[in-house]
């Protein structure tokens, strides 16, 4: 077996494998250690490493394949990854893809910046999740005094056909800003979905506006006989190993935790922070203009293609003019504000808050969601409704 067989096949150098985080990347580090031994032509050491890995995780199919190759290498030269006669090509390619994804994760540095997708977290949102589908990685961030701080990350699988879900049954994972809206336990699930699942609010208001449909997008685990699945293996859900999902699940809050699914993680910079400041100022000005009872100035905060449900901008404007004509005073207060830019759609942001409204003839409090869009240098509201 050539010394550089696995290294050349996978295109990696494993000298830095020890930098992997022991908690979140234990399996990748163990796998890389075994393959590093292969690269150094220490096949017995490599077999010992992979045997130790399989002792703790016997259903890790990728490790089983590596072990098979190592055993075959004792009798003959191996010409390829999983080169046993009559091996199913589609399954081998899945395992190659998983090997590449996991080994890329080993080489990644721990994030030190702030994601572009987490402009402002509500104090009650203790954690946020960002999924980078291109790297088969789910990142967990903690809300530390209003700033997202990296905690850990996990290997994940997404849809068989990739991302950007459009219609039911397309086997794609949606891209967008979603929230946990339910939890299913082992007794409520088929074995395919693992020990538990967290349901997402797909399709959300923006998906519906764009004509996207489908249902049943979850974070869920793996079957009892499977440690992990290839990077593209689900029907659209985000899939973690059962142990990883159990660890992650301790930090998820139903109705509150944002799950942002993006094609690629992007990090905040000075220009991004300037955009954030502009939007926060626009939200505050919207509040002030509403309270001022200057209806026409207030309405300038709404895009002409604004819609809420079946109500168009013109219908909304007419209703606001009528309602405000009967007001002698208005007070509007906002609390628990969160702001999340939409992935893969520049200039679109999801805003959530608790609205406390009072006037001379009406008072109410509600959770509200808005979608703001930046056009011609100005932020405007394109959707508004109860959250």
Note the pLDDT of residue 121: 96
CATH code of the domain made up of 270-386: 3.10.450.50
Contact 343, 204 (CB under 8 A): no
Note the pLDDT of residue 77: 62
**Ordered mean pLDDT values, 10 residues apiece, the chain (387 residues):** 42 39 62 76 84 88 84 68 62 84 82 92 96 96 94 96 96 98 96 97 96 96 93 97 95 96 95 97 98 97 93 95 96 98 94 98 96 96 95
Note the pLDDT of residue 368: 97
CATH code of the domain made up of 127-262: 2.40.440.10
One fold for 127-262 and 270-386: no
Note the pLDDT of residue 4: 40
Note the pLDDT of residue 290: 98
The residue ranges of every structural domain in the chain are 5-107, 127-262, 270-386
Count CB-CB contacts under 10 A for residue 79.
9
Note the pLDDT of residue 80: 59
Give CA–CA dist 31/43, Å, rounded. Answer: 14
Tell me how long the chain is.
387
Note the pLDDT of residue 5: 41
Give CA–CA dist 18/281, Å, rounded. Answer: 46
Note the pLDDT of residue 82: 61
């Amino acid at each position: 077996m050539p010394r550089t067989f696995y290294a050349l096949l996978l295109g990696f150098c494993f000298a830095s494998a020890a930098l992997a985080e022991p908690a979140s990347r234990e399996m990748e580090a163990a796998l890389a250690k075994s393959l590093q031994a292969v690269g150094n032509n220490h096949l017995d050491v490599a077999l010992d490493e992979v045997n130790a890995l399989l002792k703790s995780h016997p259903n890790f199919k990728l490790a089983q394949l590596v072990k098979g190759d190592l055993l075959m290498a004792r009798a003959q030269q191996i010409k390829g990854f999983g080169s046993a006669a009559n091996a199913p090509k589609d399954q081998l390619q899945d395992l190659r893809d998983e090997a590449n994804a996991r080994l890329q994760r080993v080489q990644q540095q721990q994030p030190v910046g702030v994601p572009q997708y987490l402009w402002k977290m509500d104090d009650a949102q203790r954690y946020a999740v960002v999924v980078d589908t291109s790297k088969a990685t789910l990142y967990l961030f903690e809300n530390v005094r209003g700033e997202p701080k990296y905690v850990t990350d996990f290997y994940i699988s997404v849809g068989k056909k990739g991302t950007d879900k459009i219609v039911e049954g397309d086997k794609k994972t949606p891209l967008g800003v979603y929230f946990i809206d339910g939890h299913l336990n082992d007794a409520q699930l088929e074995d395919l979905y693992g020990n538990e699942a967290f349901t997402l609010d797909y399709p959300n208001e923006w998906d519906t506006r764009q004509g996207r449909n489908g249902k049943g997008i979850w974070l869920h685990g793996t079957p009892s006989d499977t440690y992990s699945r290839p990077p593209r293996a689900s029907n659209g859900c985000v899939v973690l190993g059962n142990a990883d999902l159990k660890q992650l699940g301790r930090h998820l809050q139903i109705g509150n935790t944002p799950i942002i699914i993006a094609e690629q993680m992007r990090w905040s910079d000075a220009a991004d922070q300037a955009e954030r400041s502009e939007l926060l100022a626009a939200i505050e000005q919207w509040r002030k203009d509403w309270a001022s009872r200057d209806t026409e100035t207030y309405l300038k905060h709404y895009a002409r293609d604004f819609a809420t449900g079946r109500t168009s901008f013109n219908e909304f404007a007419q209703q606001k003019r009528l309602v405000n004509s009967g007001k002698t005073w208005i007070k509007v207060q906002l609390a628990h504000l969160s702001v999340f830019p939409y992935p893969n759609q520049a200039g679109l942001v999801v805003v959530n808050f608790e609205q406390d409204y009072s006037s001379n003839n009406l008072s109410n409090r509600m959770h509200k969601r808005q979608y703001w869009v930046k056009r011609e240098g100005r932020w405007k509201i394109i959707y508004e409704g109860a959250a």
